[in-house]
Amino acid sequence: MLALCKKLLVLAVYVLVFFLFSCNEKKEEPVKKPNIIYIMADDHTTQGFGIYGSRLASLNPTPTLDKIANEGIIFENCFVNNAICVPSRAAILSGQRAQTSGVLDLEGILPIEKQYLPQEMKKLGYQTAIVGKWHLHEEPASFDFYQVLPVQGKYFNPDFRIRGDKPWPENVVKTKGHSSDMITDITLDWLQTKRDPSKPFFLMHHFKAPHDDFEYATRYEEYLADTFIPEPESLYDNKNNGSIATRGKNDSLTRIIGSSVSHRNLIRNQAHNIYWNDTTLHRKYGNARDIKSEQHVKFELTPDEKTYTSKVYQDYLKKYLRCVKGVDDNVKRLLDYLEKENLLEETIIVYTGDQGFMLGEHDYIDKRWMYDEAMRMPFFVRYPKSITGGTRTDAIINNTDFAPTMIELAGGKTPDYMQGKSFKTILETGKEPADWQKSTYYRYWMHLAHRHQNPAHFGVRTKDYKLIFFYGKYWVDTDNPDAEYNKASWGNDYANHTPAAWEFYDLKKDPKEMNNAYNDPANKEIIAELKTELLKLRKDLNETDANYPHIQKVIDEHWND
């Protein structure tokens, strides 16, 4: 009996100890995932910020955005894979390069099955939404919620496409106001009334501004009205930028290549945009014959022409920066709401543009070029819980890296089908891993398209150097004249072939890319190394011209020029 009592006593002690440990054991709370807001403005270039130290920084064009950036990490070397709207957005949504996603140009389509980023976020438990510019043609059906502009959309009183009873794109709602305000109104309404508070959210908030024609809200009419906007030196003297591919022999192509601020370009210059109905302020050409008769007349920057160019530039930049002001003010509205609702510290804020933009540098407007003003993207991230404020990095990233990074920030892993690489560790440590990518590849597939007149080209950029190959208009396969190709983006009637040529820029010595030093014997070794890297990137990224043998023929003929 005594032995039985002892056993019962021991058992009771075990039960008591187990009970005490069970009571004291803390139940593990599930890790709360951060919300993610990805904000992207159209054509908002690094020159249009304070944080990037451009000639415009003293104007303080982006106080709200600068504050966000300085509270997080700023990327100095973020680059687009193709500086044009549709391919850039496809790369961001898919994490893939052009030939893999199938989106090479403005007519490219990203089908629902390749809208990978929202699909992956939903797998991770996120509620997904996109508001504003979409421009990828097919319905953004992979998002839980969308309200997007038709194609480019309107600046004032924009219509939006929504999910509804009718097939895409027939469900349309109308709004009254400026697009930057309307897009923010829709986002705030979704956050207030449509999101599920029990889930983390992934929201893509895409402004139309500051895309041309730079129609700003009327409340900004006096903003910078009496301010002289600093002008780039290369607006008036392009020095040794470019090559026979972009300038022609003895500058014979300068009247038709690269849309301009000045009257230099006969096909499209900024006067056509902002003075289109004032024949006293710009020269008007009725047809291609008029242009052809004038294109061999050398352009001269006379005193009158310089005065005219400065006037156009001042108007051009004020319109652009007024659109930027509208973006900055609306981002503040969004941040104020998040702070009021105690969501700001729980939310990763990402800000970027869909590419850069030429603001008169080299007397160019628009984007498309591999020159840094067009190729370089603003990119910064705020999330105090894991990102140290006041951090800057010169690590090279590109827009195919965005999707993998946001997926990993949400707790997932980069899918094997994505070509981009996650830079989550750079965000969280501010340090570039030893094995991180040392270069990025660029490819502008279109040629002399949409009156902007940029020759097709590709190239490689490292932190210190840039190598570009312009391969000209060889889209019409002379060995196969019946071959199909996208004539809307791959050529027009103003020129036939443009010359093939190389350009090399030493960015340490020449950060503004004013001296094409390709033919300098001192650069022979580094150019050879860059060509080796270029070949490797084209192969690794599925960006060769195996499917375009007539282009590959041009590459082979001129590789060792």
CB atoms within 10 A of CB 257: 28
Closest CA to 49 of 414, 275, 352, 453: 352
DSSP class of residue 167? Answer: P
Measured CA to CA, the distance from residue 299 to residue 433 in angstroms comes to 49
Residue 399: what pLDDT?
Answer: 98
Helical (H) or strand (E) element with 88: helix 85-94
- Residue 350 is predicted with a pLDDT of 98
What is the model's pLDDT at position 273? 67
For the segment 201-240, what is each residue's pLDDT rounded down to a tens digit?
999 999 999 998 899 999 999 999 999 999 999 999 999 9
Query: Residue with structure tokens 């797998």?
Result: 123
Structure tokens at 347: 């939310």
| Backbone dihedral region for residue 109 (phi beyond 0: left; psi -120 to 50: alpha; all else: beta) | beta
Q: What tokens appear for 551 in the block?
A: 């282009």
pLDDT of residue 483: 53
What pLDDT, on the 0 to 100 scale, is given for residue 153?
Answer: 96
Residue ranges in the chain modelled with pLDDT below 70: 1-30, 273-289, 473-496
- Give the helix/strand (H/E) hosting 460: strand 457-462
Residues 435 and 160: their CA atoms lie apart, in Å, by 44
Tell me how crowded residue 170 is: count the other CB atoms within 10 A of its CB: 9
Which domains, from first to last, does the chain contain? 35-223+324-437 (3.40.720.10), 441-558 (3.30.1120)
Tell me, what's the pLDDT at 60?
A: 97
pLDDT at 480: 55
Cα separation, 312 vs 262, whole angstroms: 8
